[in-house]
Structure 1
Amino acid sequence: MELKLWFSFLLLNVIYDVQSQSASKWIANMPTNIPVLQGSCVVIPCIYTYPKPTSKRILNRWKGFWMKGKTIVSTNIPKWKLTEEYKKRTQFLGKLQGRNCTMLLDAVRPTDVGPFYFRIEMPQYKSFSYPNTVTIDVKSNPEPPSMSVRVYDKVTASCSVTHSCPTILPRFSWSHPGSVSSRSKKLNTWQWETESTLTFVPQTTDSNMPLSCTVLYRGGKRAKSSIIISI
């Protein structure tokens, strides 16, 4: 649901700004570089615009291609046969008629650095390869999660991470039993934050003991942080 709301936000805000400022130009709005954890996924946000056609012909066909050199990485054309390198690893999320060219790349590999660019083909109009590109900074290991703890009548501990994979969120586990809740929010067009909160009633045996949070990412990578409980 959050991913759908995010797309709606992009369409209502970014595309309006791009079109209103440059309705007569070929422009693609996308990040230039995205850090991604190896094995995880990344959603590359993309909004494009094009000059208004002088012909009165109605545009009703759009073919979109994400490219790496001459290799097609992803497309909105059903049953298109991608190379083995990208087969079943990409998904064209954007609706081209809404000028959204967003793509998902899953199971990110060290070779998935790019640069990637977007090409649009409109049979009733023109075709264009946008010159700006997206590169991916593939990280071998995740950063330790950020932790905080508050002690009153209860212990409330929080553990959070940032990531690029809103479709498959990180999973959290704690070294102490208790009530656990989680939330996720969008920080910008390509980065998300997911947080887990643990609440429990402390015992005397918990004093000065470490409390650990372990995060499991899409692809199997793990990261762990600990904090000492002072009661």
Structure 2
Amino acid sequence: MELKLWTLFYFLLLVFGIPEVQSADSQWFIDVPSKIPALQGSCVIIPCVYTYPKTKKILNRWKGFWKRGNTIVSTNLPKFKLNSEFKRRTRILGSLRGGSCTMQLSSVRSTDVGPFYFRIEIPQHKSFTFSENTVTIDVLRTPEPPTMSVEVLGKVVASCTVSHSCPTSPPRFYWSHSGIKKTSSKRLNKWMWTTVSTLTFVPLSSDFNQALNCTVMYRGKKTAQSSVVLFS
């Protein structure tokens, strides 16, 4: 019985051949988020990486185009003239040669919802349009209030935290009380960052039972505020 199964197996290989297994490097592939939130007036970075079928040819030119419908919204070609809607508002970050197709869109407008998609052209090799891998931007008209926390242990240590999509122009923080201020940012995921402002001061008796306010101003001048009351 076992011999018959092996005979059948080899017969199928002779008839149909050995199935070809393609690696990711031999195919067109792109990794982009399907939807990103962005604050109106601020900026948003669309993370993007891609691969293309490998070749033994020597390649030295890569042309990248982010598009919305038939409109080109961003390209790495310096002499290409974008239309007035996107002129001076977009740029492709990173290296197309290295597989990065990340795009930054500044001064986000209510009409910047997309969907956007990427096209790569390698003149000495091949071209491909990732029209099925679109990115939609959820344009927010107003920012979320920052998250605040406070500790009172001899000194007041208060923190004010926000998430945003514009790491090149992080939000600014304004406190209603003087003190030592420190600000730090870190990446939350592929398309969102978090920025924290920490305020430290020695409280006076008059500071207790009073509101401590944190106001955040984003690129585009939109603001949001939160407050906490200091208890002794």
Superposed pair shares fold, TM > 0.5: yes
SS state at 1:197 partner: strand
| Partner of residue 7, structure 2 | none
Structure 1 unmatched ranges of 5 or more: 1-19
The CA distance in 2 between the partners of 1:24 and 1:179, in whole Å, is 54
Residue-by-residue CA offset, 1:42-62 (whole Å, 9 max, x unaligned): 111100011123xx3211110
The CA distance in 2 between the partners of 1:67 and 1:155, in whole Å, is 50
Residue-by-residue CA offset, 1:42-101 (whole Å, 9 max, x unaligned): 111100011123xx3211110000000010000001121000000000011121110100
Q: Does 1:172 align with 2:176?
A: no
TM-score, reference length from structure 1: 0.89
The CA distance in 1 between the partners of 2:218 and 2:79, in whole Å, is 30
TM-score, reference length from structure 2: 0.89
Residue-by-residue CA offset, 1:139-166 (whole Å, 9 max, x unaligned): 0000000000000110000000000000
Pairwise CA RMSD of aligned residues?
Answer: 1.1
The runs of at least 4 aligned residues of structure 1 exceeding 2 Å deviation read none
For residue 107 of structure 2, what is the amino acid of its counterpart? A
| Partner of residue 62, structure 1 | 62
Structure of higher CA gyration radius: 2
| Partner of residue 28, structure 1 | 30
SS state at 1:23 partner: helix
| Partner of residue 204, structure 1 | 205
Instruction: Report the Cα offset of residue 38 of structure 1.
Output: 0.3
| Partner of residue 14, structure 1 | none
SS state at 1:96 partner: coil
The CA distance in 1 between the partners of 2:205 and 2:99, in whole Å, is 59
Q: Does 1:93 align with 2:93?
A: yes
| Partner of residue 8, structure 2 | none
SS state at 1:214 partner: strand
| Partner of residue 4, structure 2 | none
For residue 146 of structure 2, what is the amino acid of its counterpart? P
SS state at 1:86 partner: coil
For residue 68 of structure 1, what is the amino acid of its counterpart? R
| Partner of residue 227, structure 1 | 228
Q: Does 1:152 align with 2:135?
A: no
Gap change, CA 1:21 and 1:35, over 3 Å in 2: farther
| Partner of residue 144, structure 2 | 143
Q: Percent identity?
A: 62
| Partner of residue 41, structure 2 | 39
The CA distance in 2 between the partners of 1:60 and 1:206, in whole Å, is 64
Residue-by-residue CA offset, 1:185-225 (whole Å, 9 max, x unaligned): 00111100000000000000011100000000001100000
Gap change, CA 1:185 and 1:21, over 3 Å in 2: farther
For residue 68 of structure 2, what is the amino acid of its counterpart? K
The CA distance in 2 between the partners of 1:21 and 1:179, in whole Å, is 54
For residue 32 of structure 2, what is the amino acid of its counterpart? M
